[in-house]
Amino acid sequence: GAVVSQHPSWVICKSGTSVKIECRSLDFQATTMFWYRQFPKQSLMLMATSNEGSKATYEQGVEKDKFLINHASLTLSTLTVTSAHPEDSSFYICSATRQPYEAFFGQGTRLTVV
């Protein structure tokens, strides 16, 4: 099956700093990637849809200036949590879609802001 690599798998950062999370599709081109956030014991919440070469589409309530998404190539999307605060601590997961419908998930990133 297709592989999506997400890096880092976990990160601890100080409050006020920024953290970048990478999502790569290793063996296919993904025109669309999705970023999800997951709180403990809850479902995955779609944050934004990332389209190669264009601006990301953010879900209602997600601050685009807080969560910067860049989809510079067909195999790489990045999520940058800017000026992170403890309430941003969460599990972030990306997925990449191989047309028409197949979605493959990264391993997830556990972000802890102290």
Partner 1 sequence: GESVGLHLPTLSVQEGDNSIINCAYSNSASDYFIWYKQESGKGPQFIIDIRSNMDKRQGQRVTVLLNKTVKHLSLQIAATQPGDSAVYFCAENWNNDMRFGAGTRLTVKP
Contact residues: partner 1, CB under 8 A: 1, 6, 32, 34, 36, 39-46, 49, 86-87, 89-91, 93, 95, 97, 101, 103-108, 110
CB of 107 to partner 1, least distance (A): 5
- Output the six-digit token pair for 33: 């990637």
Which residue lies nearer to partner 1 by CB, 23 or 76? Answer: 23
CB 63 to partner 1: min, Å? 15
Sign of CA dihedral 33, 80, 24, 93: negative
Which residues are within 8 A (CB) of 32 and not within 5 positions of it... i.e. 6 or more apart?
49, 50, 51, 52, 96, 97
What length does the chain have? 114
Q: How far is the CB of 102 from partner 1 (least distance, A)?
A: 8
Q: Which is closer to partner 1, CB of 82 or CB of 105?
A: 105
Q: Distance between CA atoms of 21 and 19, rounded to whole angstroms?
A: 7
